Structure 1
Amino acid sequence: DEVSLLCSFHAHNDPLLESDPESFIPLTPRERAALPPVWHRVIQTHPVTGKSLFYLNFDPLEFSGIAFERGRDLLQRILHIATQPELVYRHRWQPGELLVWDNHAMLHSGTSTDIYETDRRLMHRSFVYTEPTERPIPDLETQNKIFMPTALENNG
């Protein structure tokens, strides 16, 4: 199946800067060197439940195995379904609340900061590690060896 072999190439905050330059700080050269763009499989396995899940990014730089336009079309179709209003939860913050979610299985994004203009917001981010997650793939050659070995054998 076309989607099961699909990998996408992500940069860490370039798309965020392009979409909302006032809310995101550009990476320093040192941070950029430590966080280079990476390949991720679009369909991954949840480390606890074993269920398949989508690993999506709204602005991938590139797709492997298919043309960018085709990959972008598949991604847009998946996101269109996943972001239907009946499937979206939007939290309305109240003082003292704590919100916890499964980062593997939840498509999430921050909200515009303009709704917080009248109130100060203090946020802490913490992690609970259970099992190792699927790691990014360092480069396209390694990605091809992992996900398309027969294609490489047939093409020399």
Structure 2
Amino acid sequence: MTILKGLLATAGLAAGLLGTPVLASDDACQLTIESNDQLQFDRDSLSVPASCDSVSLTLEHTGSMPADAMGHNWVLAATADAQALAMDGMRAGPDADYLPEGDDRVIAATEVIGGGESTRITFDTAGLVGRDLTFFCSFPGHFASMQGSFRVQE
């Protein structure tokens, strides 16, 4: 009988919670992604719940090569814009972190970092729910192997 009462209490609590909006925990809105000297991110997809008003993303370069030889950044753009943005970024050069200055196609981007370094950015998720988004590294030659999908999910 005690087990039955416990199950009923748990079911009642769950039913009460179903009508309550669920807010994302701070942890759900904080992401970390690693890059290395082998032209790789450690993930090919990232997502956050739509209840995150903003995302804090940390990029860690676990390799040992310096930024001018094997630098990495993390750039977020609409999938339709990603490849052209990466190509335009190569022309922008290292002083611009391989991104065209003031380009509206860039939703969010970190600076370029080298081995053993990390960087963190925070960006708003307004207008990103359900959009087809891609993250990538815009360092010359890295786009082909260093990209993935990003989702803000309802």
Normalised to the residue count of structure 2, the TM-score between the two structures is: 0.24
Normalised to the residue count of structure 1, the TM-score between the two structures is: 0.24
> Whose radius of gyration is greater, 1 or 2?
2
